[in-house]
Structure 1
Amino acid sequence: MPVRLRKFIGTFIILALVVLYALVATTVATYQLAESAWYVHLLYFLFTGLLWVVPAMFVIRWMEGPAKKKPL
């Protein structure tokens, strides 16, 4: 698969990942942390705000992978 196509697909995967991840993280916070102290909210959003980077790293690594050569 050409690198340009992988980057195009990867861009949409990362956008979908960020949107879905934000919705899930906010929903969990709303239902599970509603009565928690402010520092619990701070720690939760600090942790979840950094956690999305892990799956994004794998997508970026796939996007930047070497192009497959076509057989002659």
Structure 2
Amino acid sequence: MTPSWRKPVGMLAILVLIALWVIAVASASGWVGNWHWLLQLAFYLVTGIIWLWILPMRRMLLWMETGRWR
């Protein structure tokens, strides 16, 4: 069985996505830093867990394993 090309490409895409997301969230830190700490906590939890990991990574990992997006 030969390895699929999707796994290395998917891994590189995940690393690029993480880097771009970190830059985007860090650039908003000056604005978010003025919020109440509970709002900051909610913002970073949502942007860190839901927007970065759950939504895009689920489909990316599925594609890497099966070649399908759904």
Partner residue in 1 for 2:16: 16
Q: Which has the higher contact order (CA 8 A, sep 6+)?
A: 1
The 5-angstrom pairing of residues 44-63 of structure 1 reads 44-50=43-49, 51-53=51-53, 54-63=55-64
Unaligned runs of 5+ residues in structure 1 are: 67-72
Range that drifts further, 48-57 or 11-20: 48-57
Partner residue in 2 for 1:43: 42
Partner residue in 2 for 1:5: 5
> Distance between the aligned counterparts of 1:44 and 1:29, measured in 2?
10
How many pairs align? 64
Large movers: runs of 4+ above 4 Å: none
Does the residue aligned with 2:29 lie in a helix, a strand or coil? helix
Cα RMSD over matched residues?
1.7
Amino acid of the structure 2 residue aligned with 1:12: L
How far is 1:3 from its partner? 4.9
Amino acid of the structure 2 residue aligned with 1:44: F
Unaligned runs of 5+ residues in structure 2 are: none
Residue 34 (str. 1) matches residue 33 (str. 2): yes
Amino acid of the structure 1 residue aligned with 2:26: T
Name the larger-Rg structure.
1
Amino acid of the structure 1 residue aligned with 2:45: L
> Distance between the aligned counterparts of 1:57 and 1:48, measured in 2?
15
CA contact (8 A) 1:6 1:63 kept: yes
